[in-house]
Amino acid sequence: MGLKDFFKNRQLKKAAKLAANGNGHDLKVEPPVCDDQLCILWTKCQGCNELLYTSELKKNYSVCKHCEYHHRLTAQERIDLLADYGSFLEIDENILPGDPLNFKDLKPYTVRLKDAQKTSNSKEAIITGIGTINNQPLAIGAMEFQYIGGSMGSVVGEKIVRLTERAIEKRMPLVLVSSSGGARMHEGILSLMQMAKTASTLKKLHEEKLLYISLLTEPTFGGVTASFAMLGDILIAEPQARIGFAGRRVIEETIKQKLPKDFQTAEYLLENGQIDLVIPRQNLKNIISELIRLHFKSTKLKDEVMPFSQIPLFARI
Amino acid sequence: MGLKDFFKNRQLKKAAKLAANGNGHDLKVEPPVCDDQLCILWTKCQGCNELLYTSELKKNYSVCKHCEYHHRLTAQERIDLLADYGSFLEIDENILPGDPLNFKDLKPYTVRLKDAQKTSNSKEAIITGIGTINNQPLAIGAMEFQYIGGSMGSVVGEKIVRLTERAIEKRMPLVLVSSSGGARMHEGILSLMQMAKTASTLKKLHEEKLLYISLLTEPTFGGVTASFAMLGDILIAEPQARIGFAGRRVIEETIKQKLPKDFQTAEYLLENGQIDLVIPRQNLKNIISELIRLHFKSTKLKDEVMPFSQIPLFARI
Amino acid sequence: MKTKQEIIPLDFEKPLIALSKQISELEEKTLKNGDSKIVGDLKNQYEKVKGQIYKNLSPIERIKIARHPQRPYPLDYIQAISQTWYELHGDRTGKDDGAIVGGLIEIDGQTVMVIGTQKGRDIKENQKRNFGMPSPEGYRKALRFFYHAEKFNFPIVTFIDTPGAYPGLEAEAHNQSHAIAMNLRELAGLTVPVIAVVTGEGGSGGALALSVANRVLMLENSVYSVISAEGCAAILWRTKDKASEAASALKITAQDLYELGVIDEIIPEVEGGAHYDHKQACENVLNSIKNHLRELKELSPEELKTDRQEKFRRMGAFSSI
Amino acid sequence: MKTKQEIIPLDFEKPLIALSKQISELEEKTLKNGDSKIVGDLKNQYEKVKGQIYKNLSPIERIKIARHPQRPYPLDYIQAISQTWYELHGDRTGKDDGAIVGGLIEIDGQTVMVIGTQKGRDIKENQKRNFGMPSPEGYRKALRFFYHAEKFNFPIVTFIDTPGAYPGLEAEAHNQSHAIAMNLRELAGLTVPVIAVVTGEGGSGGALALSVANRVLMLENSVYSVISAEGCAAILWRTKDKASEAASALKITAQDLYELGVIDEIIPEVEGGAHYDHKQACENVLNSIKNHLRELKELSPEELKTDRQEKFRRMGAFSSI
Ligand SMILES: [Zn+2]
Ligand SMILES: [Zn+2]
């Protein structure tokens, strides 16, 4: 068994394991190839299959230098990418999932939650907090796809809502980074209600005339796309990211025909007028920061809110 | 020469004469067949070519009893159709066209205006006023296609705006009946500006939360469709009426293909989500009146405006 | 559904059919023989079985009732509860989605904007209605109606009976996600009363897009779920055969959702389901709507908006250390 | 248009080309002969002819300059007048019309929403830009930008260079009329400053849909008309050959429109037209925009709206007995 076969074998096992976790949609689960000592040094590119030095890949924002495939980031990596070093202060990290339905399929939901916490090293499928981006304050949330497919249950909804409310209170821009298979079906109707809950709070933000930038990353589907992720004033996606409402397989089964290869990619969405920009990862921070700068100048002028520099940002969290 | 040929000949002559008047679009001009003693008794249906008793046709709202073709009405007939008998009081009838560009093509604009006044027996391409519809007050305007193809020049714009302002002042519903080839090019840019002028005033009406019902009749095109005619809260068209932005011939020349037969008909627009209702002429009054009743009940409740019955309608015109 | 049709039985109703047939046969005989004791016994048994079946309907059985092809559909309710009915059409930008209907009715003398998803009764109508699965244009048509209602201060009543938003190529190309998301957000901002009535299937985001309401009501045998039982079973149990287990686990019945605090009222149906008595179903729905409209009338525009936003703000179950 | 290109001459410029060629030839000769009197005379003549041509441009000649393929297009102005430029895309419902561009720039340190119609420079780009003729989706994209600007209190600057709204099958099916009408109405309701700059062709309703502005400016050689000269000639003179007559009769030049009170300022171009000096054209446009922005900054949101509405309220010529 050569190195490539070895990786492939591991990948398949991992994929099967993750698939059992279940997310609401038919996404091909791409597990991280490196998760133990044996492959810490090398990572196989999920775009072109080249073997890459892991350390080099990380330095390049997990973007393959050969094919520019944007490998999925963890929520924490995403925060590190966008927020200024040391500026991020997590909020609401102790909002934890319940099991309102006593849900059990092949495995109880409570067990899945524990597994997910272990696999993803994250308490839930989103991290939220306050930080700065090129010295401008922002409220930021990033989803963790490794946590049950980044699915939105009560905790994700509540954390997004609290973050949004904080953005309103402090008159800060809001940036949400989505990566999700959709609603978390193990919480049944309550997961569906998170769509209404987040959208409803975003209506308040909208009426307060505050900027909301939504960053859509591989993959964003279902109830997440169909609620907060699509409601940004400005919608940005990473190259090649797959974004949609229904999953490809469901659509193919419904319409009984093959879909075009680029269907539901970021580029397809741009072409179809659904998003504003497709931005390579290495430019994201500067462009988001510039967009915030452009918007907050004028908001200040009109609403005569306190200039950001004068808000004692972390003092009142 | 049989009676049919006789009519046909007359029709062609008349068509040529009217075409010379020029309207901004490539509409087939359908002249009224009856305009002198010889054919007062009979009218040839423009839908099925049947000869109809003129008096019977008029009694049937100028709708053919064989094919239900809706023959064009004059502005006055339209008012008579919708406003309660004796209730209509014309306003602004003395706003008359100028010749701001000293426009002259094969004939001076001033001559065309005089011809049009004679042909149409109307001072301009719209009649506006106040009346009641099944005892409910309304502000109503109806276009006169016989007057230079119902084209919108400064007078049409001004009269619509004054009518709209009156609807706002008296908190009345507004009904506009359009029938037009578009802007009146003999007034150049000033005719184009009537689009902005009417739309701008309708924005005020909209913000005042007053009902505006737009009735689109054969034919409505160009700058009229692309301004006030499409801005109704409720859009109603008569069966088979042709309604669009660009004329059929222009489009066929542009895209180099034949258009479907039903293209730009009222039914096509309904199918394509552009209008709310296609209503046969004999039902128009009652349905418009019902829609007004449904809307004005609630407006009263919310804004606590004076109930219509208490507005001394004609006292303050 | 105007003429009296024979009701198509569901599989779990088969024992009743069998019994009923037996009774009829026996009754014919007993007319000759004069012995009616057995018939009486059978009738007692019938009532007992019937009670057992209908009092203990499982979630998957409720789904079957909710999807019953003879169940009253939104247009049936709309036309029954108001003499006035002016249907309006179109999204103004290219399509009049037949899966979404809407227009003006009157309730208690008040003009009401009514909007519903609509399934077809036959193949031809289902082509037009797309089996009740709205396209983005359908949701934008609904959004236009929301704004119309807001402008003229009309309460909004929605009727929901949809398998879900349509998962198609064009639906994605025309941004189904955005259409749904916008409706969620804009419904949340309205200052008029909004009442949603789930009458049949409440299919996920496609249902929610009409249901961000001050009051959410459900017919007794309707269901409302984040995912279809079959879809959930296919993913979590890896076989659609476990739809029944999934239906139970997902908590999709009116009773479950009432207990979860997600809906505000259960509207009763006659035994067996609303399809056994359209008239009664429409009456019950109308009465319930009337009551809620009267209550909501007491709130100011701003209160109506806040009430709705706070209602959904509270949704969710989590622990906070 | 970044590298210096040779300018393609227009037909009425041909005398100048001939003269210029003669001068060059003579100059080569005179370098040998030492006789420069004739060259000097020719040069004087050149200047005289040039003056005659450019000072007395007829409307149809202005049209030709306005349509010159090397004329600066909206994106040229946008990119020249601001270092910052973030283009935004899409109508959110299925299309990103290439004939409409828009995004954020900075002028005088202030964020400005800029929107323009855009023609292509070659066949491939024109496929994308549809020769600068927007679809309904393009106008809805623009409308989205209007609302964005309104929300964030950004002044709006539009650049117009379009033959008109696209007259196509799909454009009609998607309701071109409604798209234009909505933009007229919604522009009228904005509370931010709106400045429209006609840079090339201002083609009828398709141009007006971006021009319901507090200030409407025109480049010296741009045109703005209710109908194309050719279209008008075909209808009223019954031949397109009379386009020149129609162009004159319609009063479509900046000077004419200024005198009619329809526009607020004429932005000068270099002799021959903006295509002879892109840099100068951009500078002139920027200066003019800056002045108007500064003036409009003095108005309150409500005043800005009223100013715009009253401006268009006054448009028209009629008598009132
Ligand atoms: Zn690669
Ligand atoms: Zn006929």
Cα torsion B85, B86, B89, B94 to 10°: value is 100
Q: How far apart (Å, rounded) are the C-alpha atoms in residues D169 and B260?
A: 10
**Residue B69 CA: distances (Å) to CA of B286, D16, D70, D230:** 20, 61, 52, 35
Distance from D221 to chain B by nearest Cα, in Å?
Answer: 16
Q: Which pLDDT tens digit goes with each residue over D125-139?
A: 999 999 999 999 999
Among residues of chain B, what percentage have pLDDT more than 90? 80
Q: Does A1 have pLDDT greater than 80?
A: no
pLDDT of residue A301: 39
Residue of chain A nearest C175, judged by CA positions: A274
Find where tokens 């569906």 sit.
A192
Q: Which pLDDT tens digit goes with each residue over B208-253?
A: 999 999 999 999 999 999 999 999 999 999 999 999 999 999 999 9
Residues in chain C: 321
Q: Which pLDDT tens digit goes with each residue over A216-237?
A: 999 999 999 999 999 999 999 9
Which pLDDT band, with edges at 50, 70 and 90, does B299 fall under? very low
B2 vs D227, higher pLDDT: D227
User: Rounded mean pLDDT of chain B?
Assistant: 86
Residues of D112-144 as b/e, b for ≥16 C-beta within 10 angstroms?
Answer: bbbbbbbbbeeeeebeebbebbbbbbbbbbbbb
Backbone angles phi, psi at A86, to 5 degrees: 80, 0
| Ligand 1 centroid – CA B6 distance (Å) | 81
Q: By C-alpha distance, which of C261, C199, C194, C249 is closest to C224?
A: C199
CATH class of D63-313: alpha beta
Lowest mean pLDDT among A296-310, D89-103, D262-276: A296-310
* Cis ω for the linkage preceding B219 (within 30 of 0): yes
Find where tokens 């407006």 sit.
B299
Q: Is C179 on the interface with D (CB under 8 A)?
A: yes
Question: How many C-beta atoms lie closer than 10 Å to residue D243's C-beta?
Answer: 20
Specify burial of residue A311 (Cβ count, 10 A radius: 0-12, 13-18, 19+): middle
Sign of CA dihedral C50, C55, C61, C67: positive
Region D231-239 average pLDDT: 95
| Ligand 1 centroid – CA D56 distance (Å) | 63
Q: Does B107 have pLDDT greater than 90?
A: yes
Distance from B308 to chain C by nearest Cα, in Å?
Answer: 16
Which ligand does the CA of B48 lie closest to? 2
Predicted complex ipTM:
0.92
Q: Is D184 on the interface with B (CB under 8 A)?
A: yes
Among residues of chain B, what percentage have pLDDT more than 70? 81
In C, which residues are within 8 Å of D174 by CB distance?
Answer: 93-94
Which ligand does the CA of A50 lie closest to? 1
Tokens found for residue A66? 């050969």
Q: Does A314 have pLDDT greater than 60?
A: no
Region A61-81 average pLDDT: 96
Q: How far apart (Å, rounded) are the C-alpha atoms in residues B209 and D105?
A: 35
CB of D237 closer than 8 Å to CB of B106: yes
Q: How far apart (Å, rounded) are the C-alpha atoms in residues C72 and C279?
A: 9
pLDDT of residue A20: 36
Bridge partners of C104, per DSSP, are C86, C113
pLDDT of residue A39: 59
Tokens found for residue C233? 């079973």
Lowest mean pLDDT among B247-256, D13-22, D76-85, D288-297: D13-22
CB of A141 closer than 8 Å to CB of A104: no
Distance from C173 to chain D by nearest Cα, in Å?
Answer: 6
Specify burial of residue A37 (Cβ count, 10 A radius: 0-12, 13-18, 19+): exposed
What one-character-per-residue DSSP string does A156-217 give? Answer: HHHHHHHHHHHHHHHT--EEEEEEESSB-GGGHHHHHHHHHHHHHHHHHHHHTT--EEEEEE
Find where tokens 């809706």 sit.
B70
Region B110-128 average pLDDT: 96
Among residues of chain D, what percentage have pLDDT more than 90? 87
Q: In what order do the strands lie in the sheet with A89-91?
A: A89-91, A126-133, A136-143, A174-180, A212-220, A234-237, A277-278
In C, which residues are within 8 Å of B233 by CB distance?
Answer: 148, 151-152
Region B113-120 average pLDDT: 96
Q: Which pLDDT tens digit goes with each residue over D179-213?
A: 999 999 999 999 999 999 999 999 999 999 999 99
Q: By C-alpha distance, which of C242, C218, C213, C217 is closest to C230?
A: C242
Bridge partners of D265, per DSSP, are D217
Q: How far apart (Å, rounded) are the C-alpha atoms in residues A190 and C224?
A: 11
- Sites in chain C below the pLDDT cut of 70: 1-4, 32-35
| Ligand 2 centroid – CA B45 distance (Å) | 5
Which pLDDT band, with edges at 50, 70 and 90, does B167 fall under? very high
Interface of B with D in 197-256 (CB under 8 A): 197, 199-204, 206-207, 222-223, 225-231, 244-247, 250-251, 254-255
Among residues of chain D, what percentage have pLDDT more than 70? 97
**Residue B141 CA: distances (Å) to CA of B79, B144, B160, B207, D51:** 8, 10, 7, 20, 52
Bridge partners of C157, per DSSP, are C114, C195
pLDDT of residue C321: 77
Q: Is C169 on the interface with D (CB under 8 A)?
A: no
C170 alpha-carbon distance from chain centroid? 26
Tokens found for residue D203? 């083609």
Lowest mean pLDDT among A2-11, C21-30, D311-320: A2-11
How large is the angle between the packed helices D59-66 and D243-250, nearest 10 degrees? 100
Question: How many C-beta atoms lie closer than 10 Å to residue C255's C-beta?
Answer: 15
Q: Does B317 have pLDDT greater than 60?
A: no
Residues of B244-273 as b/e, b for ≥16 C-beta within 10 angstroms?
Answer: bbbbbebbbeeeeeeeeeebbbbebbbbbb
Element (H, E) at A52: strand A51-53
Chains near A with 3+ CB pairs less than 8 A apart are C, D
A193 vs B305, higher pLDDT: A193
Region A273-296 average pLDDT: 97
Which pLDDT band, with edges at 50, 70 and 90, does B38 fall under? low
CB of D144 closer than 8 Å to CB of D101: no
Residue of chain D nearest C170, judged by CA positions: D94
**Residue A159 CA: distances (Å) to CA of B298, D50, D245:** 40, 71, 68
* Cis ω for the linkage preceding A219 (within 30 of 0): yes
Helix (H, G, I), strand (E, B) or coil at C275: helix
Which of D167, D212, D238 faces B246 most closely, judged by CB atoms? D167
User: Rounded mean pLDDT of chain D?
Assistant: 95
Q: Which pLDDT tens digit goes with each residue over A130-159?
A: 999 999 999 999 999 999 999 999 999 999
Q: Which pLDDT tens digit goes with each residue over A31-42?
A: 444 455 555 789
List % helix, strand, coil for chain D (3-state, nearest 5).
55, 15, 30
Specify burial of residue B275 (Cβ count, 10 A radius: 0-12, 13-18, 19+): buried
pLDDT of residue A36: 54
Q: Do chains B and A touch (3 or more CB pairs under 8 A)?
A: no
Region B116-136 average pLDDT: 96
Q: Which pLDDT tens digit goes with each residue over D261-281?
A: 999 999 999 999 999 999 999
A162 alpha-carbon distance from chain centroid? 17
Distance from D25 to chain A by nearest Cα, in Å?
Answer: 53
What one-character-per-residue DSSP string does B137-192 give? Answer: EEEEEEE-TTTGGG-B-HHHHHHHHHHHHHHHHHT--EEEEEEESSB-GGGHHHHH
Tokens found for residue B196? 């902005």
**Residue D37 CA: distances (Å) to CA of D16, D30, D99:** 19, 9, 52
Question: How many C-beta atoms lie closer than 10 Å to residue B282's C-beta?
Answer: 13
Specify burial of residue D99 (Cβ count, 10 A radius: 0-12, 13-18, 19+): buried
Question: How many C-beta atoms lie closer than 10 Å to residue A261's C-beta?
Answer: 7
Q: By C-alpha distance, which of D113, D267, D130 is closest to D198?
A: D267
pLDDT of residue C37: 80
Q: Which pLDDT tens digit goes with each residue over D9-60?
A: 999 999 998 898 888 888 887 776 666 788 888 888 999 999 999 999 999 9
Which pLDDT band, with edges at 50, 70 and 90, does D2 fall under? very low
Lowest mean pLDDT among A46-60, A166-180, C99-113: A46-60
